[in-house]
Amino acid sequence: MEKIYNIFLGLPPHNIDINHPLHSNFGLFFHLKKSSNLGKQYRQVTDWLDLQDNIQNFHNLKQLEYFINRLDKTFHNKINLVIFSKKEFLAQSELQLILNIVEELNNLKHIDIDIKSNLNNFEIFYSKLEFYKFMKENNFQQFIPEYSLLYEDKSVNNLRFPLLIRNSVSSGGKDTFVVSNMKELKKIKRLLYFKNLIWSQNKKQWFVQEFIDTKLKFGYYRSFRVLAFNSKPYFIYPNVSYSNPITHVSEKDKLPKHLFLESVNFGIDIFNIHKNLFTEIFKKLDNPFSALDFVCTDSDNVYISEAELKYGPSEKYVINQIQYFDLDQEFFNDIRSRINIDPLNFDDLNSIFE
């Protein structure tokens, strides 16, 4: 006989407790670290999980091992395991330990563990350069910007200005610089070495890529994030700013609503045109929750800058878009109807185990 167990393993700092960032509202999942400031309509995952009797929830490997070692050996025990974590919080040794433990347990005749995400892909969500490598290996290279390692002068010289200097493992616009010419490029390189931000061990983390100047085309900086659940893209939203060329997010220079909605409509068109492309990439990334960030100046060409392990939009999206532009349920329903996607709620988490 067979028994089936569905298990969430939330590793620090993504322990599935009252501080977990996974929330739900408007038929979307959100990634909110401080939801208490945003209102009770953003439901937190443990509110739902407390009502489920078919899902085990563990906070560390010891809890998981203890549970598995106590299973009845007269049954075939099928375990569907979902792991919540990110590479920046999970050392390679810890990651390998998880894989080794799963392999050992799977050697037992009464245990069959199926991990519902590809742990070997965690590095792709952490390092932009690993993501570009992944894109090339899967024949998606035409959808990433031209780039070169910063210290490879000959390759850098083949790129066209303006350029972005970036650290592949920094996020939120940190360690990113826009340069317009070779003089500025050399100046920034000297500054980085002087501040000891570049040293021999990490110099391969720094790279240069061509800067897609959306402000030149639209009059403001604009990028998009497309979200996926279970490898299926289900939502897209813009980030827009007059003055921020890095993250395209600003609390100070909000666009008027008609320009924001213009970007929303453009994003919907991009989603529908490139939905198959996004789906293929998300399937290869193989994680229940993921996101792609990209820029484009026309509907034919998208340039994807990175992949992230995100449950959904963050507090900045809620504050700068939902609250600022007074977006309501009708707004999100309209987007879903135009991209032909059903709303999501926490009950859909059960589908991860299938």
- Residue-wise pLDDT for 241-272, tens only, equals 999 999 888 777 889 999 999 999 999 999 99
Taking only the tens place, the pLDDT of each residue in 182-209 is 999 999 888 887 666 656 556 678 899 9
Give the residue-averaged pLDDT of 37-41: 79
Taking only the tens place, the pLDDT of each residue in 85-141 is 888 888 788 888 888 999 999 999 999 999 998 888 989 999 999 999 999 999 999
Q: Which domains are assigned to the chain?
A: 2-120 (no CATH), 146-210 (3.30.1490.20)
Taking only the tens place, the pLDDT of each residue in 209-250 is 999 999 999 999 999 999 999 999 999 999 999 999 998 887
Residue 208 near residue 147, CB atoms below 8 Å: yes
d(CA 133, CA 141): 9
Q: Tell me the pLDDT band of 54, cut-offs 50, 70 and 90.
A: very high
Q: How many of the other CB atoms lie within 10 Å of CB of 9? A: 22
Strand partners of residue 8: 57, 82
d(CA 256, CA 239): 13
